[in-house]
Amino acid sequence: MKRTLITPDIAAFPEELRPVFSGAAVYDSSSSPQARVYFIDKDGGYYLKTAEKGELAREAELTRYFHGKGLSANVLAYVSAERDFMLTERVRGEDLTFAKYLAEPKKLCDISAALLRELHETEFSTCPVQNHTARYLATVERNYRAGLCDLSYAPEFATAEEAYSLVRENAHLLKNEVLLHGDYCLPNVMLDDWRFTGFIDIGNGGVGDRHVDLFWGAWTLGFNLKTDEYRARFFDAYGRDKISEDMLRVIAAAEVFG
């Protein structure tokens, strides 16, 4: 997780959030152009995320829910002004792209799969997002109509039309069956010396189809380990009894429009 020391303009933040900067070193820890993330090195650490107005409401709500399950950070404040701001406590440890973890890929793969299976077996009756699938499919439709497509996420499809047709034909098979992370990639899973401490970046979560997380869990191993060698091992460790290769292909088709 990269951190660049900066000197922020404190006046640019809502007044109620400014005290957290007092006496602290501040780092830019952003990893996406859609949001800016600051690490505030004080009292064990805080993260302050800012994005366009309304963009963090869902993430704040889901992070609070996950925290209540012992699965994520504590949300200390959510402020929606000209922009959105979400302040959380730091989750202890390092994410799964930490060199120590990447150096043991088999162990990394097995832990990633086990944690995902545990998440998917979590009771979710009070989750604030009970129909992730509707939003997921709406995104596919919107981005297809807008011509937004990245076939690199599913190179088995030659064209956007081919991928879209598969999603349309099989959309009715997607279930709202488990509690999803929604972006189950190695940088979003935190361990402290191999002990799980929490998930981060949960804004795409909710109750949905397990194959969304399974797709990303396999994809991130290939991307970060530079090999597809661990794909089968990941699915074996998760449990083949719950996995449909056909549904993984449908999700791959959907994700090119994500």
Mean pLDDT of 69-80: 97
Work out the average pLDDT over 165-177. Answer: 98
- Averaged pLDDT score across all residues of the chain: 96
Q: For this structure, is 183 an active site residue?
A: yes
CATH of 94-255, one of 1.10.600.10, 3.40.710.10, 3.90.1300.10, 3.90.1200.10: 3.90.1200.10
Query: What CA–CA distance (Å, rounded) separates 108 from 106?
Result: 5
Determine the pLDDT at residue 23.
93
- The Cα-based distances of 59 to 120, 129, 182 in angstroms read 19, 11, 11
> 50 φ, ψ to 5°?
-135, 140
172 to 8, 27, 167, 226: CA distances (angstroms): 48, 45, 9, 34
Q: Hey, where are the domains in the chain?
A: 4-89, 94-255
| Catalytic residue (one of 84, 183, 201, 209) | 183
pLDDT bracket for residue 1 (50, 70, 90): low
Helix axes 231-238, 210-225, angle to 10 degrees: 140
pTM attached to this predicted model: 0.95
Query: Domain 4-89: which CATH class?
Result: alpha beta
| CA dihedral of residues 90, 81, 3, 183 (deg, nearest 10) | 70
Position 31 confidence tier, pLDDT thresholds 50, 70, 90: confident
